[in-house]
Structure 1
């Protein structure tokens, strides 16, 4: 068979390309932004390196720990040293990395930080703006892809916890150019027409590029302006988006969002039953106490024989009146006796009572009592006050 008619197998063709690439290029340094990073449990790290116009796949065998140590993540700018090779099974050429060094955040990550700082400065992320999520939402508005795993996970958890829950879905692309407009439109739709108690914007995990629509300003402003509480459940627990900061509540995953905002109906029923039992027990106890008091009243003399009760009380009043009259008479008698005794004491102390025994009181012309003979020299006119009446006398002399 002529050489030009030789038919090559795919394996042979890929082998030739590997030999050409391996033999013609030396190890080199390549700079680019990390994307689609996977740190595999085998210890290898898989990624793409890209710039504004192109990208190349890369593998760092045994480099997963090194990437984690250097905090390499999607969006990081790195310089990778390695050799170009061909991956035979897929016919793809890739960079086999031997070492790398980070250069800092990539363009997307810088955009993320700049927008986050600007919106935070405006107050869009302030806690004072956050609205509480209802404890038992009657209707939930879901903004997500109708074909994604996030929808399946959310519905599965939500309906298992509360089977009668009403969930309205606004279908929206969650990655790719322009997806942010649909996500924002979904939030606005539920605010205008949805009549829901809470809105959930959600999607599953992915690369920084995949999650980027949730980092767009239009989505953040739609969430912040929502009068209905918004829950952001984007990606995995380690993923953070601008939507997370603008939302009233962040959930780590779509399933986590369902567990956070949808109560367990069975547990609620148990709680209600327990409360009902306690309330009925309290009512029964109150009833028994009231019944006991009523029975006591009914069995009393006042209700069984009311006329006897009135007569008995009337007799008690008569007795009280009699006792009061006796007490009043005794009080008057005691007061009269004390008055007479006091009168006798006053009378015995009166200076005129001594006159009854034959004594006299002598007064001078001015009516002043004379107590000393020197006060009445001979010839002095005096008045002698007797027990009955008075005498006009003249002093004739003085005796010792």
Structure 2
């Protein structure tokens, strides 16, 4: 006991603080795959959950500054890939993970592979502007490498037909999705280079998910694009989609239609040249910004280790626990108040104005019957007036004249005979009476 000093004796708080610093500084960043359970999202905006597999589990916290960048809704039972740093929640002595990013397991692995390949190729200089080949100012033939049935091909051909119908186009059909797509696209680029019949190549397809576009993040395809002697425009997906092919190509177009506009001329070909330079500038800026983001991420990680935000996060976690206790108390109080309200509602139902509503319903039915009776009387009067009008019409009818003893005489052509001089011997006459007709011959 004599060898012990005050420096050798730890308090519980000091022990937990030392262990926390040891975990955070020695372990650094880890990637972890697991299943979400016990997920909760208090009003503070922070997330708390447990990641588990078949044999173990670990508690996690993801603070709102980081979870705002998560593009899906975490749910219990969902497999995820997380980037996190090890820490310790000192008040309870719980070992936990502080999650910095979270993605669904499949997309997360693809994104991780994308980032690793991007850093590898960037380190080799494949994205450098000095390696970019300039596009021909006036192409004589354009090559298109895409699916022969995809919408991208039809978009490209429509734009070229509208802007420069005389520009020849060579299509190198290939699949643009699936396990074999990257190799087929690389072979099509090699075929175009060996045939050497085009001044520029457009390689791309329409939009889709990260998995759909994954063949354009293939290392073999990227190196094939970089080695191509023909300038290549990458036109993959929509404007928000970014692939490795976009970084290594000589030019990136936001859409297949935009790529067609870059290689075709119209009456405003000067604008095209400006657009080409604009695209080069945008590509250079994208590459520069990508490098700066990586550099900033490294500096940010170093800063976070010394940032007082860690202490604020721990205090925020304590606040969330207190808040949850308050919510439980409030829920119990609200339950008691709901029961009191339900008792009051039962008393109100005992004095419900159902009888008054019944009287009003009977009155409404009587008014409805009066309306029906009035409509019947109106219909009867209308029918009587119609009968009188029909009777008046009948009195002036030619048929009524025939009924009074008059007749109408017509010749064989149907012409009415009004004078004796209109007929001659041997003519056949038809005399119409009220109840029929009489045929006669003039003697």
Same fold (TM > 0.5): no
Please give the TM-score of this superposition, normalised by the length of structure 1.
0.44
TM-score under structure 2 length normalisation: 0.39
Q: Which has the larger radius of gyration?
A: 1
